[in-house]
């Protein structure tokens, strides 16, 4: 067999192997069954110009993807007072210069949720939501679906007593990337009472 043919065969084999791995991984994060008693909010790409995947979790808590500079101005005009960014390698400050929005950055991984980071996020969020000068609060990451997804899911479970199944279902509604197959399992294993106790001890 010619060298070129052997190389081509190996490349095809690698592509087939990669495809099998992708199918296996995404299969581990299949969409949960639709909860029979709840119809939740859906993402909106046109509600706030410059902000995609937007929704109001509650009147005082909003979520979405990375806003543009105009998007931040439009959020402020709509009533938002504080921005929480969950992005690791991006700073919103240059985009906020023409606004009076408060800004807090809590970096997280899209693919590797950590309880300690969630405790920090939920502790800060609870304090902000209780402060009339800080709420409404807008939470975002790059696309508003993975870091924002599991963070809002944890909020639902802690403060609104949602089941993990309902919270995960909403995460999928907001375009969760199934490549991050560990995230639903993390939420199912999350000990909400332990999180609550850790928040009470937070400085």
> How do residues 79-132 score in pLDDT, each as one tens digit?
999 999 999 999 999 999 999 999 999 999 988 899 999 999 999 999 999 999
**pTM of the predicted model as reported, rounded to 2 decimal places:** 0.82
- Which residues on adjacent β-strands are paired with residue 58? 61
Residues near 155 by beta carbon (within 8 Å), at least 6 away in sequence: 57, 61, 122, 125
pLDDT at res. 121: 98
Q: Is residue 63 part of a domain?
A: yes
pLDDT at residue 183 greater than cutoff 50: yes
Q: What phi, psi does 146 have (nearest 5°)? A: -105, -70
CATH of the domain at 61: 3.90.190.10
Spatial distance between the Cα atoms of 69 and 73, rounded to a whole number of angstroms = 7
Q: Which structural domain range is residue 175 located in?
A: 55-200
Nearest to 40 by CA among 200, 202, 158, 153: 153
| pLDDT tens-digit series, residues 21-56 | 443 444 444 555 444 445 678 999 999 999 999 999
pLDDT at res. 24: 40
Q: Is residue 29 part of a domain?
A: no
| Mean pLDDT value across the chain | 86
Distance of CA 105 to the CA centre of its chain: 14
Q: Is residue 184 part of a domain?
A: yes
Tokens of 129: 């939501």
| pLDDT tens-digit series, residues 132-176 | 999 999 999 999 999 999 999 999 999 999 999 999 999 999 998
Spatial distance between the Cα atoms of 128 and 80, rounded to a whole number of angstroms = 12
- Which residues on adjacent β-strands are paired with residue 103? 83
Q: Is residue 130 part of a domain?
A: yes
| Cβ 152 vs Cβ 87: under 8 Å | no
pLDDT at res. 38: 52
pLDDT at res. 6: 45
The number of domains in the chain is 1
pLDDT at res. 179: 76
Q: Is residue 175 part of a domain?
A: yes
Q: Is residue 32 part of a domain?
A: no
Q: Is residue 105 part of a domain?
A: yes
Q: Is residue 17 part of a domain?
A: no
């Amino acid at each position: 067999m010619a060298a070129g043919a052997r190389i081509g065969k190996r490349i095809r084999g690698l592509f087939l192997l990669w495809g099998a791995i992708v199918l296996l991984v995404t299969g581990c994060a299949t969409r949960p069954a639709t909860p029979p008693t709840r119809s939740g909010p859906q993402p909106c790409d046109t509600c706030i110009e410059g902000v995609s995947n937007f929704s109001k979790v509650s009147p005082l808590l909003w979520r979405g993807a990375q806003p543009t500079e105009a998007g931040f101005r439009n959020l402020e005009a709509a009533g938002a007072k504080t921005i929480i960014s969950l992005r690791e390698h991006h700073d919103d400050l240059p985009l906020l210069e023409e606004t009076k929005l408060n800004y807090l950055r809590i970096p997280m991984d899209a693919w590797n949720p950590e309880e300690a980071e969630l405790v920090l996020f939920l502790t800060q969020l609870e304090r902000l939501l209780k402060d009339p000068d800080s709420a409404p609060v807008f939470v975002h990451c790059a696309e508003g679906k993975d870091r924002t997804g599991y963070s809002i899911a944890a909020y639902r479970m802690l403060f609104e007593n949602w089941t993990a199944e309902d919270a995960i279902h909403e995460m999928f509604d907001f375009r969760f990337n199934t490549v991050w197959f560990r995230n639903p399992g993390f939420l199912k294993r999350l000990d909400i009472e332990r999180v609550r106790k850790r928040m009470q001890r937070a400085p």
